[in-house]
Structure 1
Amino acid sequence: MSNADQEEFWTGDAGDKWVATQAQMDTLLQPVLDLVLTQAALPAGARVLDIGSGTGASVAQAAKAVGPKGHVTGLDISDTMLALARTRLQDHPNTSGLKADAQIHSFEAGSYDAMISRFGVMFFADTTAAFANIARALVPRAPLTFAAWGAAPQNPYFMQAAAAAKDVFGPMEKTDRTLPGPFAFEDSARVIPMLTDAGLTDVTCEEHGVHLTPPGDLRAVAELLCTIGPAERALRQFEASHEDRARLVDALMARFAKFEGSAGIEIPALINLYRARTAS
């Protein structure tokens, strides 16, 4: 089973939007990347596989951690985002980009010493098959460290945006959060058995509270939310006019004003930090 629909999604309009907002999204999500890299503690010289590496921020920072004798391969299903990543990583000779579906790609066995991911593993059609395949790419007892969104109600970046959209447009179409998507890994009791079935060992999930740090003022944050996430989905679902979009921006600003302080806008988030190892 491939992830062809995800490839189409992330290479098309969604990929274009991530590329267009790369600087803002990197800043917004830097605290999550800091969490992953701190917990992964990548050693100098390690060969690292970064799953769902997007536009390359995680690859660059992991490459700094492993040093010139190490190497980081950024794997993504989106040609659109990989194209930008390769441009950004031109001055990082210990990196490479790989356009592939990690669920079915024919990895060379034992090619990597560690795997990391920031929000890149929640979109597989078959989670167990994907991680079994990734495990084959790693050496025995290799560590896997990856972040996913925790419980949706504790992530106002999504929930307050959805609430603002409801304020303007009314109820949106319901989504099944267990399907491939941002919250597919929110329930660790459901996900850990999938990872164990993939042959991984020492599988754990820890909840970490962080603060997302979007750049700019409230209006800039609202405009970003109208580009990626539930607010953008509402704009499409309701075929919103320019006036509708302006109303949504105002509603988003009102909803997110509570997160504005002397240090700027800091949005609390709950992150599930998964850790595991490949078998001996």
Structure 2
Amino acid sequence: MQTANEDQAEYWGNSESGTKWLTFEDKLDHMLAPVLDLVLEQAELEPGMRVLDIGCGTGASTIAAAQRVGPQGHVLGGDISEPFLNRARERALSAGVENVDFQCVDAQVAPFPVGAFDAAISRFGVMFFQDSVAAFANISKALAPGGRMTFAAWGPLADNPWFRIPHMAATSHLGHPPKHGRYAPGPLAFHDVDHVTGMMATAGLDDIFANPVSLRLPGLGSVEATAELCTRVGPAARVIAHFEGDEADERKIQSAVAQEFSSFQTADGFGIPAVINVFQARKPS
């Protein structure tokens, strides 16, 4: 695989922290289902379309897109993690979805066939590039003239308790790991819509649009179960790993997260408010 993002390839493909997403695949897909629905709704996929799914992970987004474009359409799921793609292939086979392929690629530099796709989509797969302008330009080459990109990314930290509360609980208990730049590759790299749309414009895209969308992420049946997941993946897990925290540290952080999350329990059930930035743009026609 040709790559310009070796750190990301190592993290998602080989590290214990990155591959934890395989362990918690079902829970994460459940919580992030509203985000995937948002991407697919905004992308307006139609039967027969050819779609490129960037950062497809274990395949939930690719399979859902393939079902929308039907047997006359096709979806290529690309990801930098071979373990994720192996699982994605298993899921597609189990679901009986045949109009998909999966490829281990770094979308920033991958030699996608020029003009081969009608649309590109991503659920949280575009925030990790070392050079986002180069990535947008490369993905654009893969689109047919007038083809549209539709990407979802996390909004600001303050608007996303899923990140903010576990991060605060972990750093209050263990300390702060080294800081990274505001726009450094990572889950929150695309929090600033003006910054991202500026990069899209620099990449030569047209009809650029960004929309912060408020929604509710469904919990896992209880505050405690959701808090436990937050100590296994995400910012708290990264802090715990950095400071080599033990099970006692995890339990203490989990308890603090659960206490804060309890404020999101309502008569309609438990869910976490979120703000998701949706970005769209077209390849010039």
Considering the TM-score relative to the shorter chain, is it more than 0.5?
Answer: yes
**Paired position in structure 2 for 1:97:** 102
Shift, 1:170, TM fit:
4.0
With normalisation by structure 2, the TM-score equals: 0.95
Q: Verify: 1:158 aligned to 2:124, yes or no.
A: no
Is 1:15–1:81's contact at 8 Å kept on the other side of the alignment?
A: no
State the alpha-carbon separation in 2 of the partners of residues 262 and 44 from structure 1: 39
**Paired position in structure 2 for 1:238:** 243
Matches of residues 171-182 of structure 1 in structure 2 within 5 Å? 171-182=176-187
Shift, 1:279, TM fit:
0.8
Q: Which moves more between the two structures, 75-84 or 238-247?
A: 238-247
Q: Verify: 1:61 aligned to 2:33, yes or no.
A: no
Matches of residues 220-231 of structure 1 in structure 2 within 5 Å? 220-231=225-236
Structure 1 residue ranges, 4+ long, deviating more than 3 angstroms after superposition: 170-173
Is 1:168–1:251's contact at 8 Å kept on the other side of the alignment?
A: no
Shift, 1:33, TM fit:
0.5
Is 2:54–2:78's contact at 8 Å kept on the other side of the alignment?
A: yes
With normalisation by structure 1, the TM-score equals: 0.96
Please state whether the residue corresponding to 1:142 is helix, strand or coil. strand
Please state whether the residue corresponding to 1:96 is helix, strand or coil. strand
**Paired position in structure 1 for 2:4:** 2
Q: Map Cα deviations across residues 219-253 of structure 1 (whole Å, 9 max, x no partner).
A: 21111111111111221222222222211111111
Matches of residues 1-280 of structure 1 in structure 2 within 5 Å? 2-12=4-14, 13-90=16-93, 91-280=96-285
Shift, 1:178, TM fit:
0.6
Shift, 1:208, TM fit:
0.4
State the alpha-carbon separation in 1 of the partners of residues 17 and 171 from structure 2: 22
Alignment gaps of 5+ in structure 2 = none
Is 1:15–1:80's contact at 8 Å kept on the other side of the alignment?
A: no
Aligned residue type for 1:64: Q
Percentage of identical aligned residues: 45
Aligned residue type for 1:2: A
Aligned residue type for 1:50: D
Aligned residue type for 2:229: L
Q: Map Cα deviations across residues 17-64 of structure 1 (whole Å, 9 max, x no partner).
A: 000000000001000111101111101100000000001110111111
Please state whether the residue corresponding to 2:52 is helix, strand or coil. strand
Please state whether the residue corresponding to 2:248 is helix, strand or coil. helix
Shift, 1:77, TM fit:
0.5
Q: Which moves more between the two structures, 41-50 or 246-255?
A: 246-255
State the alpha-carbon separation in 1 of the partners of residues 46 and 59 from structure 2: 20
Shift, 1:80, TM fit:
1.1
Q: Which moves more between the two structures, 211-220 or 251-260?
A: 211-220
Shift, 1:214, TM fit:
2.8
Shift, 1:259, TM fit:
1.1
